[in-house]
Amino acid sequence: MTPEGTTPIHPDLDVEARRLLAEIERQDLHARLIGGMAVRILAGERLHPIYDRQVQDLDFVLAKRHTRDVERLLAEAGYVPEEQFNALNGHRRLLFHDDRHGRQIDVFVDSFEMCHVLPLTDRLTQRPGTLPAAEVLMTKLQIVHLNSKDRGDLYALLHSHDVTSHDEEAVNVDRIAELTGSDWGLQRTFELNLGRLREGLPEQALSPDELHVLARRIDAVADAMEQAPKSRKWKLRARVGDRKRWYEEPEEVDREG
Is residue 79 over pLDDT 90? yes
The pLDDT value recorded for residue 255 is 47
Contact 59, 35 (CB under 8 A): yes
pLDDT score at 109: 97
Of 68, 99, 65, 94, the residue nearest 82 (C-alpha): 94
Q: How confident is residue 253, by pLDDT bands cut at 50, 70 and 90?
A: low
Domains of the chain as residue ranges with CATH: 13-243 (3.30.460.40)
Alpha-carbon distances of 142 from 49, 150, 257, rounded to whole Å: 25, 10, 15
At 139 the three-state DSSP class reads helix
- Whether the predicted pLDDT of 254 surpasses 80: no
**Confidence band (pLDDT; 50, 70, 90) for 256?**
very low
pLDDT greater than 90 at residue 3: no
Question: Within a 10 A sphere around the Cβ of 242, how many other Cβ atoms?
Answer: 8
Mean pLDDT for all residues in the chain: 95
Query: To the nearest whole percent, how much of the chain has pLDDT over 90?
Result: 93
Residue 23 has pLDDT above 50, yes or no: yes
Half-sphere exposure for 54 (CA within 13 Å, toward CB): 5
Strand (E) or helix (H) holding 155 = helix 148-160
**Gyration radius of the chain over CA positions:** 18
pLDDT at 77: 96
Which residues lie below 8 Å from residue 163, measured CB to CB, with a gap of 6+? 170, 171, 173, 217, 220, 221, 224
The pLDDT value given to residue 250: 87
